[in-house]
Structure formats: structure tokens, C-alpha cells
Amino acid sequence: MKNAQDIITSIQYKPQFKKILHHKCINKLMNTILPAIRRSVKHGYINKSILYITITSALNKYDKDNIIKTIKTVLNSKMILQSERFVACNEIIIEDVIVYVDHKPKIDTSLHRTDVDKLTYPERASGDIEIKIEDPKLKTLAQSIQDIIKKEQHDPS
């Protein structure tokens, strides 16, 4: 049985899914850039054998030239491209690298809030309800919960 990685690997070489292969190649090429500069890269794409990279305006001209030089060095070195790290880039032909500067700040999205467990809400229930449960075990459980709520209402600490 194939796992998800095997399925993606098998379909990425089909012409209609070449964007997956392009995306993998761009990620591998971005990993060759210094991490401090890589954080300023917004996105990249390949169109007509040209790699376009968009960066934030926080970088200067030297960093922009450094990105172009690093990627061109990797692309021109057949030994580097044929290593196992750049398997995704073997069939992709990149002739030039163009870096654009975008003056809009890079928006970072957070997938989850870290302070969720710190949220507490005061108890608003008073516990003044009539329990109409016929099962004795459930009734004792409901009464114990009701007693806890009543105790909290009378003695909040």
C-alpha cells in the first residue's frame, strides 16, 4: 500500500502536476540561501525557464545580489545539481534568476494561539435546577455536580 509521499512522488512527474515539482525545486534552492536572508523571501515561482523570487524591502542591494549569485552558482554547478539534495531540480531548466522587491511587509500567520489554556471564565451557573433522572448512578453524578456548582456560588475563592 502506498503512503501519501509515494503518491505525490508518482504524480509530480506528470505534466499537469509540474507545479509540485517546481515548488519542491524552489524550496531546495531557497535552502541554499543564508537563513537570515531566507526569512525575507516571500515566494518564488518558475515561468518560461526563469526563476522569479519576491523578497521584502528589508533587504539591501547586496543581499539581493547575494541571492542571485548563490542560486546561479548552484544552477551552474552540475555536480551540486546531480546530488541527492536537488533530485527535484533535475528535469527543470532554469536559465535566469530575477529577484523582485515587494514593499508590503511579510504577513506571518499563526496556526494556533499559545495562550488558549490561560483563558478562564467565571462560573455563571447557580445550580438551582431540578434533576429529573431516573437512573440512580446518573442522578448521584448530576447531584454531585450540582453541589459543586452551588458550593462555588456561595464560596468563590
Model confidence over 138-155: pLDDT tens digits? Answer: 999 999 989 988 888 777
Grouping H, G, I as helix, E, B as strand and the rest as coil, residue 61 is helix
- Judge if 62 and 16 occupy the same domain: yes
- Judge if 84 and 34 occupy the same domain: yes
Nearest to 94 by CA among 29, 4, 17, 1: 29
- Number of domains composing the chain: 2
Single-letter code of the amino acid located at 86: F
Q: Is the pLDDT of residue 128 over 60?
A: yes
- Judge if 93 and 154 occupy the same domain: no
DSSP string over 78-124: HHHHTSGGGGGGSS----EEEEEEE-SPPPP--SS-TTGGG------
Q: How far apart are CA 128 and CA 115, in angstroms?
A: 33
- Judge if 97 and 133 occupy the same domain: no
- Judge if 82 and 148 occupy the same domain: no
Q: How far apart are CA 83 and CA 76, in angstroms?
A: 13
pLDDT digits (tens, 9 = 90+) for 75-85: 888 777 777 77
pLDDT digits (tens, 9 = 90+) for 91-111: 788 888 888 888 877 776 666
pTM tops 0.85: no
C-alpha of 120 from chain center: 29
For residue 73, the enclosing domain spans 7-102
Q: What grid cell was written down for 69?
A: 549569485
- Judge if 73 and 136 occupy the same domain: no
